[in-house]
Structure 1
Amino acid sequence: MMRRLARFDLNLLQVFDAIHAKGGVSAAARHLNLSQPAISHALAKLRDALGDPLFVRQGNRLVPTSAARAIAGPVREALRGLDAALDAATAFDPAETAREFRIGVRLSGEMPRFSALALRVRSEAPRAMLASVTFRRRDLVVALANGDLDLALDVALPADDRLRRHFLGTEPPVVVARKGHPRVDGAIDLDTYLALDHIVATARPHGPGMEDMALDRLGLARRVAVRCQHAITAWQIVAASDMLFSLPRSHAEVLDAMWPMQLVDMPLPVEQGGSYLYWHQAADADPGLRWLRAIIADELGKSE
């Protein structure tokens, strides 16, 4: 095996990975800053070495064969591991790096988290690029393994041996009501909370919130009159009505700074959801990601 690897041109794997990720020779050439003939020549050598066409043309795209699909994940993970090993052998300097860091952030969590993180990263690494990237939970392991994401922020997820995680903390929810609300003045009791209509902001098309589950345990229920997808939309509705809206305190404080409301304590015990930072085990030794993980833990790791 080692003799076979010694004879293999590892540059061909970079070409394979680029074609697989970008879907064509031209796009791969642009990504690797090489000419199209150079990419085509490398692909021909790779096909010969592996005894498989690897990609077949369908319209304007090169579609991977079953053999290509089978090796795509291991090749991407191996290339990431090699990059991390080479990076680890050299000093990482945040002030000089021009690296792009891709952080998986759910839509509901971007507003209170990403702005503070971006400002901190910019202060220490002014040439770095930072991207907030949405993701599907079922694809998280693959996205972290193949480099589509470097890190991810999310709630507690099922354990996976391939992932590492760091607990960032919890925070209580607050109830938002407009200033001048006829039944809310700096505080709210449970009877008033149940008597008023509520807004839920979530990307999920249906299903209860944490408040509804807490109420259900008490044999109670609230009336959700409006369901929208974003907290800003819910905030606008609250500002022009007597409805109530609940969200984590850090989310509420960001919006309150722009559009002041009443933020009052929740009148019932709600289980506080924990927040976690996730990364792939292959990225443990990456000095750039160790630096970024430390920043995230310091900036966002505030539990209550």
Structure 2
Amino acid sequence: MGWNGKSGVLVLKGSLSRIDDCLTREDAHPVIKSVAAAALLSAILGFVLGDGLVKAASVAVLVSLALCSVLLLIGGLGSLRREADAHRGLVLRYAKAILDRDGLPYRFIKWEESSVIRNSRGDSLDTTTIRAEVTDNGMLFMRLAFGSGWPQPARHRGKVRLRVRKLMIGDRPGVNLERTVQWLEDGKLRLVIHFAEPPRVGEEISVVVECDWPGKSMPLMREGKVDKFTFRFSRPVPYARYQVTLPEGVDATCEPFGFSEHDERVHWGRVTDGQGRTQFYVDGVDVAVHRELGMLLQVG
């Protein structure tokens, strides 16, 4: 196949763009930059001044440099990702240290958690509405934790989408709030919600955490395994509710977890929503500290 000058120019332009990205990166090693720049200059001169064979060789060199540049960029992204993970871990660590030292600057009034399982893959849309009263000055963040009933592989975590919003009077949605997320080795998700301004003491604040979580209930839906849906708090909560909605046409058996069937402070049961979907719920009143409360579900 003969040399096509037009194709060579196109390849040259694409290669130059990638190499330029590499050379202009601040985190690229100086030696790598120097070698790449020298090879780049030689290849360009060969392309401009050489004959057909030399031009083809020059383009081949440029393509090789471009591929090396892409690999360097990928390596740089990996380094940035590790650095960001480390920073997130520090934020979570300092937030915990502050709360351990000073205590929570708020008390929960109501916790309402809903998990809507969308399909047979176990994809879930989780919505948690939190209402709290501010009890101390300087409340700049709220620290929470969520998780699935099984240790999801790390590759699934990048597909999870999370949004935090403030709720106004009448539960009108407010603006998105900044948040810091950290994944633990067991698949648990830790979350710090940041407030731009500390709310006043005595003020009631409401936030909603929306989490689009692919495969969260995969063992329940695909394998028929028992799945656990529970909550546990580090401070007493006057009222907490957990509701699970199954896909249309799917049913399950339910057992209480963390309470007896005759516990007067816990109500549980099943209903059918307007779309014909089965829902299970657990309502807890005056939920004690560190008490894990909820339900066990098994499809089939």
Shared fold, TM over 0.5: no
Report the structure, 1 or 2, having the larger helix content. Answer: 1
Compare relative contact order (CA 8 Å, sep 6+) and give the higher one, 1 or 2.
1
Give the TM-score normalised by structure 2: 0.26
Give the TM-score normalised by structure 1: 0.26
Report the structure, 1 or 2, having the larger strand content. Answer: 2
